[in-house]
Amino acid sequence: MRSCIITVSPAMGNETYDYLVSRVHARFGEDVACTRVNDAELLGGFYMELDGTVYDMTVNTRLDQAKRAFDAERTVDA
C-alpha cells in the first residue's frame, strides 16, 4: 500500500475531499492510502505528497506566482 498525504484548508468539506481522493485513486490506483492533514494557513486548494512527488495546487502558491509575475513586469517597465 502506498501512502499519500493531502494537506487542505480546514474549510474544505468532506464531499470535496472525498472527490479529491476518488480522483487520486482513478489516476494513481486503488492501492494508495490517503491521509488528510488540515492546515489553517491554506486559503484553498490542496498540497499532495505521493511517491516522492509534490503536487502543489494551493491558492497560496497561485497568488504567490501571480505576485512574482506582476513584480517582474513592473521591474521591466521601470
Neighbour count for residue 11 (Cβ, 10 Å) = 11
CA pseudo-torsion sign 58, 51, 2, 23: positive
Residue-level pLDDT at 71: 87
3-state secondary structure at position 70:
helix
Is 2-77 a domain of CATH 3.30.2320? yes
pLDDT digits (tens, 9 = 90+) for 41-69: 999 999 999 999 999 999 999 999 999 98
pLDDT digits (tens, 9 = 90+) for 17-26: 999 999 999 9
Query: What residue spans define the domains of the chain?
Result: 2-77
